[in-house]
Amino acid sequence: MYFCNVMNYTLNCGGRLLSLDTPQVMGILNVTPDSFYATSRVETEEAIARRAHEIVEQGAAIIDVGACSTRPGSEPVSAQQESERLRLALGVIRREMPDAIVSVDTFRPDIARMAVEELGADIINDVGQSASSVNDRRSVSMYRMVARLGVPYVLMSRESGMSSMLMWLSGEVQALRDCGQKDIIIDPGFGFGKTLEENYSVLRDLEQLQLLELPVLVGVSRKSMIYKLLGVQPDAALNGTSVLHVMALERGAKILRVHDVREAVECVRINKMLYV
């Protein structure tokens, strides 16, 4: 039996309220030379502007900018290099699309501060969470930073099973609340710290995250849980991605983080018709 999410959420993005009554799409813009899906990589001002316009024109509510690859086996770039990439990308986006809602992927508190205070980012998407205690220094530092900045925060879990994930997330959400954080988005971390089978187990039980009473972000776009299962390359994983998007929406996902915006928007529209 599928889950119909009846809870309504809003995010305060720089003083603008983004409603999640209807699930929203977050379009990926990677200013990296080594992200796993080559088509998502943009490094020149012209390419960044073109991709940003494409994301919004195809119906995404959020542009998600990554300046440090999180693909398996990749080495994090230096803070200086991450900063330079973000300055380039967000400078172009703010010049071209001053009203766009922009999320920044980072695991560094100082980069989060710069992205929000200097470059106008609206959301911090923390890609560096680990299955550690709430006393982890980096985590606490990031929690305090985003609470001070007053922006929505994406909390990602690398836990491999739903039971352990719920326990870990509960503790981290409380730690964030203790720091004064308001808007929290949950990301079950598909592809992070999980085997192929564990990814599908988490997806099957995704509706259990509704116990936390927070919006859920799902990022499965063209990931190895699709292309390895099907025996294809990432560039042939769009159909599988759309299938998983529909499954995630049926289980309560409120944000889809995607490479292919138009197709994800279509998934949302079709799924919405079931509940009209």
Residues 191 and 214: their CA atoms lie apart, in Å, by 21
The DSSP annotation for 6-19 comes to ----EEEETTEEEE
In eight-state DSSP terms, residue 37 is S
β 101-106/123-126 pair status: parallel
Of 231, 253, 196, 224, whose CA–CA distance to 70 is shortest?
224
**272 in catalytic set:** no
Catalytic residue among 51, 85, 222, 223: 223
Of 128, 130, 206, whose CA–CA distance to 168 is shortest?
130
**108 in catalytic set:** no
Residue 150, helix vs strand vs coil: coil
Residues 91 and 258: their CA atoms lie apart, in Å, by 22
Catalytic residue among 257, 262, 269, 272: 257
Residues 177 and 112: their CA atoms lie apart, in Å, by 18
Q: Which two tokens stand for residue 204?
A: 């099957």
Q: How far is CA 218 from CA 16, 51, 118, in A?
A: 23, 21, 28
Positions annotated as catalytic residues are: 223, 257
